[in-house]
Amino acid sequence: MSPPERRARLRELRTWVEWLRHTAELHNEIPPCWYRHRWVREMLTALYLGWLRTYEGEKTPGRELAEAEWINTVHAFKPHMKLPACVSSHQEPPLPPPSNPAADEEWELYLATSADTTEAAKHPAEAEVRRMAAELDPPL
């Protein structure tokens, strides 16, 4: 998205988030500084898009409880949106650790040498599959 479009979408999201905070009484779960926290912003964006699809979209057969499912999703997200550090005022999230080139090299070495990535996959119930096949086709 271009910066102007991104700003327009964030204004739209803010209007909806303020409606949600008020309507669902989530003012204690969604901090006023929600837009400064990328992960909270991502969750709220997902909830908003789900809300649009649920309430504004065409009704799909088999989705008779879509609204209830959306409400359950809101409740499932609540603990992840609450930011205790921001109860009284916004606190910047911690900075991510700097990149580590050695970790990238270690990752590539793992991919190249690990049995998890170099050996053929095995079915966890391979012996049981062989036993069942033998029962279906017993020796003469």
For the cut 90, the answer to whether the pLDDT of residue 12 exceeds it is yes
Structure tokens at 62: 């088999």
Please, how many CA atoms are within 13 Å of residue 19, restricted to the half-sphere of its CB? Answer: 9
pTM score, whole prediction: 0.65
For the cut 70, the answer to whether the pLDDT of residue 140 exceeds it is no
Higher pLDDT, 36 or 62: 36
At residue 11's C-alpha, the angle toward residues 9 and 12, to 5°, is 65
For the cut 80, the answer to whether the pLDDT of residue 1 exceeds it is no
Can you give the residue ranges of every domain in the chain? 3-86, 101-136
pLDDT tens sequence across 76-120: 999 888 887 787 788 777 777 788 888 888 888 888 898 878 888
For the cut 80, the answer to whether the pLDDT of residue 127 exceeds it is no
Residue 15, SS3 per DSSP: helix
